[in-house]
Chains A and B, each alone.
Chain A
């Protein structure tokens, strides 16, 4: 596919150069550019209708970002995002076609019409919002302070007083924690994620500031010391990405996300892949 389009571009540009030598160059190039835009799949009438008539939904999922998406020992993609894609396909009553992508090419796949949805641990920011549309949040992604004691909870930053918290030096969570931690909190900074995890697992620290993905990794390695969230430092949940101006598809995806939150499907997925319930403020 890639080489085909490349060849097309090549012959196109050489033909274009010949044309350019003509007198009508400006007018013609404008016409060619216009033609290119109208053949772009971006301006399809209705993506949801296309999916239904095709009977297949094509979803871009990560292949290198566990537990959202990775390749299992059976060489099949597995993870939260894959389950989410399967859930949407099942509820829509269509077949699921998985397109493994990397974080660099996930949006181009969508924009070139090779994928209907991107479910790839996609975070929202203004730059991305200018290019594509985002559904409601479907997966938790946050930084927080976690405790080895699953029954513990604190009300605010002042609840972290007198605690010793391990964190990876210079990471975003280090900055956030240093900002809000009371003076009596001891922040023990370690060189990298692996050392921070070792400090928590060996019991050298009973609290750790990290992301929920890393916390899930720790829980998987040692369920006796599964980190449980006591304070959220920064929330940046994941959204389903789709092309702009697809109100019908957007409505359908949001309806299914709301339904999944309601009936516990998403919470079940969170337990399976993050070894934790969805955070209480999720979806609000």
Chain B
């Protein structure tokens, strides 16, 4: 006979759970915006910039995509102080998550960009658009619309992966759960609760992304089908 479930034991820790939840949400919203913006820049430059810029960015993308996230995080938090660069825990978490999301999303976007036929870009130029204008309207936005579902998934993966920032003492949702678990030893209740919270966060994120997508890519809907 095991111990009975008692979710009331979590009541004294509501403020910790709220604090952790808020941190996770803020981390996710900010890094999704910065990460996806950076990804657009990286994807653009990887296709159009000077060779040495392309190789440099290629190196960044490959290193990030082929090393564990927690190692990147530890390198920024514990390793960089060795070079005299001291970054506090929450900033280190922002940087690591942004760089991680940007590297994966840049690859996803690049696939979307290379799917655009060269002739379309030339057609845009022929219609009197500047290079940047035609790039934006003919290449980038359609590419974004094409790979949008993959970008949603990637952003959610990074949100879920943010759980490991608790390892460098960022007070996120997982940190709150570990903290509570170390005090009341009710691991089942605590982890069940935050499992549900992460699940809802992921669903919520997907829904909001879809709503934004419907607005932004409204005129693309016809082409998509």
Q: Do A and B bind each other?
A: yes
Tell me the A residues contacting B by CB distance below 8 Å.
166, 169-170, 174, 188-191, 195, 198-199, 202-204
Which residues of A have CB within 8 Å of B169? Answer: 166, 188-190, 199
Given A188-B89, A195-B167, decide whether A169 and B178 contact each other with a Cβ distance below 8 A. yes
Other than the given A190-B168, A195-B167, A199-B168, 20 more pairs (CB < 8 A) read A169-B179, A170-B183, A174-B182, A188-B169, A189-B175, A190-B169, A191-B166, A191-B178, A195-B168, A199-B169, A202-B77, A202-B78, A202-B79, A202-B81, A202-B82, A202-B86, A203-B86, A204-B77, A204-B81, A204-B88
The residue of chain B having its C-beta at the shortest distance from the C-beta of A174 within the complex is B182
Q: CA of A160 to CA of B78 in the docked complex: distance in angstroms?
A: 24
Which residues of B have CB within 8 Å of A204? Answer: 77-78, 81, 86, 88-89
**From B77, B82, B86, B182, contact of A169 by CB (8 A):** B182
**From A189, A195, A202, A203, contact of B179 by CB (8 A):** A189
**From B78, B79, B166, contact of A199 by CB (8 A):** B78
Q: CA of A204 to CA of B82 in the docked complex: distance in angstroms?
A: 11
Question: Nearest Cβ distance between residue B149 and chain A, in whole angstroms?
Answer: 35
Q: CA of A191 to CA of B89 in the docked complex: distance in angstroms?
A: 14
Question: Nearest Cβ distance between residue A31 and chain B, in whole angstroms?
Answer: 46
Q: Which of B89-118 contact A (CB under 8 A)?
A: 89
Question: Nearest Cβ distance between residue A209 and chain B, in whole angstroms?
Answer: 13
Question: Nearest Cβ distance between residue A149 and chain B, in whole angstroms?
Answer: 16
Which residues of B have CB within 8 Å of A199? Answer: 78, 168-169
Question: Nearest Cβ distance between residue A10 and chain B, in whole angstroms?
Answer: 39
Chain B positions 162 through 192: 1 when the CB is less than 8 Å from some CB of chain A, otherwise 0: 0000111100000100110111000000000
Question: Nearest Cβ distance between residue A207 and chain B, in whole angstroms?
Answer: 13
Q: CA of A191 to CA of B85 in the docked complex: distance in angstroms?
A: 23
Question: Nearest Cβ distance between residue B175 and chain A, in whole angstroms?
Answer: 7
Q: CA of A247 to CA of B79 in the docked complex: distance in angstroms?
A: 56
Interface residues on B, range: 10 to 19
Would you mind naming 17 contact pairs between A and B with Cβ atoms under 8 Å apart? A169-B182, A170-B181, A174-B182, A189-B175, A190-B168, A191-B166, A191-B167, A199-B78, A199-B168, A202-B78, A202-B81, A202-B82, A203-B86, A204-B78, A204-B81, A204-B86, A204-B89
Which residues of A have CB within 8 Å of B79? Answer: 202
The residue of chain A having its C-beta at the shortest distance from the C-beta of B92 within the complex is A204
Query: In this complex, which of B78, B79, B82 has the most chain A Cβ atoms within 10 angstroms of its Cβ?
Result: B78
Q: Which of B124-176 contact A (CB under 8 A)?
A: 166-169, 175
Question: Nearest Cβ distance between residue A189 and chain B, in whole angstroms?
Answer: 6
Which residues of B have CB within 8 Å of A191? Answer: 166-167, 178
Question: Nearest Cβ distance between residue A204 and chain B, in whole angstroms?
Answer: 6
Which residues of B have CB within 8 Å of A202? Answer: 77-79, 81-82, 86
The residue of chain A having its C-beta at the shortest distance from the C-beta of B88 within the complex is A204
Which residues of A have CB within 8 Å of B181? Answer: 170
**From B86, B167, B183, contact of A190 by CB (8 A):** B167
Query: In this complex, which of A190, A191, A202, A204 has the most chain B Cβ atoms within 10 angstroms of its Cβ?
Result: A204
Q: CA of A202 to CA of B166 in the docked complex: distance in angstroms?
A: 18
Q: CA of A176 to CA of B41 in the docked complex: distance in angstroms?
A: 49
Q: CA of A166 to CA of B168 in the docked complex: distance in angstroms?
A: 10
Q: CA of A131 to CA of B182 in the docked complex: distance in angstroms?
A: 33
Q: CA of A166 to CA of B167 in the docked complex: distance in angstroms?
A: 12
Which residues of A have CB within 8 Å of B89? Answer: 188, 204
**From B81, B167, B175, B178, contact of A203 by CB (8 A):** B81
The residue of chain B having its C-beta at the shortest distance from the C-beta of A192 within the complex is B167
Question: Nearest Cβ distance between residue B196 and chain A, in whole angstroms?
Answer: 23
Question: Nearest Cβ distance between residue A205 and chain B, in whole angstroms?
Answer: 8
Which residues of A have CB within 8 Å of B168? Answer: 190, 195, 199
A170 engages B182 (CB within 8 Å):
yes
Which residues of B have CB within 8 Å of A188? Answer: 89, 169
